[in-house]
Structure 1
């Protein structure tokens, strides 16, 4: 059923007496507890599969009908369940993300590293389509990093994106007056060109954030100075190239990640792989990345047009070309 018709029907039913409580699509499933589902294996012991996907942010995802938890919140929720379960010997984090904000990426790194240190449980990162910039940043604490044969990864660097409106305002004859307390109070303003002095200040911030990223790569990956210099160009790599330069440990499929996690944790070869979701899905499997039905994606046009909006001004560990995927 087309989403426009589904939305209209749901709205009509909501207006009928006694119908609203029965319409699950309008329920706030983000407030329902995460439940465990087995997606692979039948033996003793568990490997927890946790997905990390999309643009990484600590802000909730806002939709027309409701908000959904951010990637940071959901990953922390899932890690807590895995940490509290004595049967879980290892975690596989499935990453499909071009990165995100510098802070969200760093929080994810911190939480995964803290999980390892507190629990002593092994972590395997399994990369899918894209695990670039902040997506790769989040993978760094893993004991083993595996990429799908067609993964794009790398982009180890920082980008400062901000929309500029000064050219458009000149064309339509609109201006903005600013009163400020210091010379640099409005640095980065979208209403005027950036000055050379401001560019130098921004570059200093970018260099600081990049240095942190580079330091963590050097800490977790056994790269030679020459390899690290190549990585610092912030280019992207195929899975094979990333394996050759030392950014990842293995090229394979998600089943290989499960096998590695089971072996590292000393679990049986058929140990169960479990994941945490808010909804039940028939014929579930490891490739299901949904945690709940997502009415926030619905809108009156039946499309999600968020990817065409200009970026929010800020510093990002992100591969911009991956944002439209």
Structure 2
């Protein structure tokens, strides 16, 4: 049964092409064909605005490929940077809500997004609130440290403060099947972290030094963003473990537990208004129709078979690079 399913999956691209030629599948523009960001109101009314800015999935500075490679979507970094640049030009925006639902991602992308948010706050004076969805861990928590206030849902999972560089040693398996490492290197450490051989003690020390440096950066960001953090438990807080919302509140990792209505109430209070329109940015023809809608935030293509949308998305995979990421063993980013 599993073999038949895999065989069918491999044939899917050819099937899509055949159906498209037959007129059964329509490959239609998901967007207008321009690169402009557009604004839509998803809730409320009034002259003042609250920008609802989602940060979802694996945080990266590389575009993601979807729909069997037919669709390329902007990276998290590019999406957030463009949104903040647009928001900075709009004096009607009284508050920004970062809706974070992410296990983290690359160190570089998380740190750059953190810096962009901090710069926006500094240059505009607009308050920023971080609102946690189901998961706001590791790099997802890192970017939240640039916000003025942090609110988690009662069921949010957060924490995972730490660094990981994924690696594997397949040399034992290669020995069993008679495959030798035939790499040529310019110096002893050029192939450091190669999966084809066991690491030397010196190489382990080199990589660990990098991890320790990036971890120190993470902890300093948390300490700067959470002045009320319970430093008596700092070693436990920063050992990579995850926390439920109530423990995160007790330890000072968040300010409050609440739902979306509570987040928006705080945003209005921070903006100094009783009412405001909640807006979202989008690129393309289809505007998000609600706060939590995932519709067409970026341009791309949509496949339809007999009038029904076909979801052919695949998540990006992380290479051997430093990550601020909560990734239980066996999970893809």
Q: Which TM-score bucket, shorter chain as reference? A: 0.7 to 0.9
The answer as to 2:63 corresponding to 1:87 is no
What corresponds to 1:19 in structure 2? Answer: none
C-alpha distance in structure 1 between counterparts of 2:185 and 2:43, whole Å: 60
How many residues are paired up? 312
Deviating beyond 6 angstroms after TM superposition, the runs of 4 or more aligned structure 1 residues are 3-7
Give the one of 299, 316, 320 matched to 2:323: 316
C-alpha distance in structure 2 between counterparts of 1:248 and 1:297, whole Å: 41
What corresponds to 1:51 in structure 2? Answer: 54
What corresponds to 1:246 in structure 2? Answer: 252
Structure 2: where are the runs of 5+ without partners?
1-11, 305-309
What corresponds to 1:32 in structure 2? Answer: 35
Q: Structure 1 residues 282 and 82 mapped into 2: Cα distance closer, same or farther (>3 Å)?
A: closer
Deviation digits for residues 281-313 of structure 1 (CA, Å, limit 9, x no counterpart): 588111113314764899xx9654547x6x411
C-alpha distance in structure 2 between counterparts of 1:58 and 1:180, whole Å: 29
The answer as to 2:239 corresponding to 1:236 is no
- Which deviates further from its counterpart, 189-198 or 50-59? 189-198
What corresponds to 1:65 in structure 2? Answer: 70
Structure 1: where are the runs of 5+ without partners?
16-22
Q: Structure 1 residues 30 and 153 mapped into 2: Cα distance closer, same or farther (>3 Å)?
A: farther
1:1-325 matches, within 5 Å, as: 8-13=18-23, 25-26=28-29, 31-63=34-66, 64-222=69-227, 223-268=229-274, 270-279=275-284, 281=286, 284-290=289-295, 291-292=297-298, 295=301, 303-304=312-313, 306=315, 311-321=318-328, 323-324=331-332
1:14 CA displacement: 11
1:7 CA displacement: 6.4
Check the 8 A contact 1:176/1:191 in 2, yes or no.
yes
Higher helix fraction (1 or 2) = 1
What corresponds to 1:18 in structure 2? Answer: none
Tell me the C-alpha RMSD between the 2 structures.
2.9
Check the 8 A contact 1:30/1:278 in 2, yes or no.
no
Look up the SS of the partner of 1:55 in the other structure.
strand
Q: Structure 1 residues 178 and 279 mapped into 2: Cα distance closer, same or farther (>3 Å)?
A: closer
